[in-house]
Amino acid sequence: MRDTAEQVGLVVTDQSGFFGVEIPGEQIITCRLRGRLMEQAKSSDIAAIGDRVKIQYSTDDNTGSIVEVLPRISVLSRAMRTEGKRGAGDAMREQVIVANADQALFVFAAAQPTPNMRMLDRFLVTGEKSGIERLFIVVNKMDLEDNSVTTARFAPYEKMGYTVLYTCARDGVGVEELKALLKDQVSVFTGPSGVGKTSLLNKVQPDLGRKVKEVSNRRQEGMHTTRDSALIKLEIGGYLADTPGLRSLTVWDVEPEELDGYFRDIAPLVGQCKFNDCGHRNEVGCVVREAAERGVISRGRYESYKQLRTELDEALAVY
């Protein structure tokens, strides 16, 4: 008869239905969902990296079952089209990218590539929806653009309360501040390709960027058949979440009429519009549109809102 034990642990890897659960003592137990939870996973990810879970496991071979997923304090998700049995035939389902993250850091470059502000706004909406307590913007490659140009571009975000960290991995600018942010936290660290994330991570911890890329490369090689996610332990304390799919982010579980509430600069104006159901486009008496025309809120942010609102309206019409 096998010896068994019960423990609460942290999900640190998710590989095609096999979960690596770290228990006290840094031991990793390979687990699968117990039958009831497996059935529930057809409509959403019941367990994901960052989840605190209760497991039953064999002390002989370090394998076990997840019997309970503890309540989450935050959930960073995206909408994904279903494939195969896991989606149970639904047109869209929730993919949990990471649970219980303490903070998210969205990394962009000052230049090469030019920052895609529409993508940044999409990330921020998803971050606001997730319930993650702290959202940061990291601007790398500050040596490639006039600093006044870059700070002016990101000034609207600082004005609405986001912390913007300006860095240069090549020269080590901002690296100590970045380390201080990451220390002892569960952090999402993501952004578009080419912005220097790997270089920044290698400054934080030698070879950290390579470890993150290894996870990403494994996922890319098996993208049609596997799910591969990981929390990578930091030497300074805490974990870094590698985040699949965030570059093709589709906002999950946001109704079109709720979208304005996830824009920090737009939300305070919504109650002043003439109509309660104002979509902030061509409606008479729209205070949000007028504020964008007067420069009270960023015109770019307003355009991002309209683009996302149209996307959500179209998705609702289809599904």
Q: What is the pLDDT of residues 7-35, one digit of tens each?
A: 999 999 998 889 999 999 989 999 999 88
Burial of 160 (0-12, 13-18, 19+ CB in 10 A): middle
Rounded CA gap, 18 and 221, in Å? Answer: 18
Q: Is 98 strand, coil or helix?
A: strand
Q: Provide the domain limits for residue 18.
A: 4-71
Is the C-alpha dihedral spanning 28, 241, 168, 155 positive or negative? Answer: negative
Kindly state whether residue 88 falls inside one of the protein's structural domains: no
Question: Does 158 lie in the same domain as 204?
Answer: yes
- The CATH number of the domain where 294 resides is what? 1.10.40.50
Regarding whether 263 and 149 lie in a shared domain, the answer is: no
- pLDDT for 86: 43
Burial of 256 (0-12, 13-18, 19+ CB in 10 A): middle
Q: Do 109 and 239 sit in the same domain of this protein?
A: yes
- The total number of structural domains in the chain stands at 3
Residue 77 counted as domain residue? no
pLDDT at 222: 40
Same domain, 169 and 28: no
Residue 308: per-residue pLDDT? 92
Judge if 192 and 221 occupy the same domain.
yes
86 in a domain, yes or no? no
Contact between 52 and 74 under an 8 Å Cβ cutoff? The reply is: no
Please state, rounded to an integer, the average pLDDT across all residues of the chain: 87
pLDDT in tens, 232-275: 999 999 999 976 555 555 777 789 999 999 999 999 999 999 99
For residue 83, tell me if it sits in a domain: no
| In a shared domain, residues 57 and 123 | no
Please name which of 136, 162, 134, 189 lies closest in space to residue 263, comparing C-alpha atoms.
Answer: 162
The arithmetic mean of pLDDT across residues 105-121, rounded, is 96
- Check residue 226 and give its pLDDT: 38
Which pTM value belongs to this model?
0.88
Residue 89 lies in a domain: no
Condensed to tens digits (0 to 9), the pLDDT of residues 133-169 reads 999 999 999 999 999 999 999 999 999 999 999 999 9
Instruction: Answer yes or no: are the C-beta atoms of 37 and 31 closer than 8 Å.
Output: no
Cis peptide before 113 (omega within 30 of 0): yes
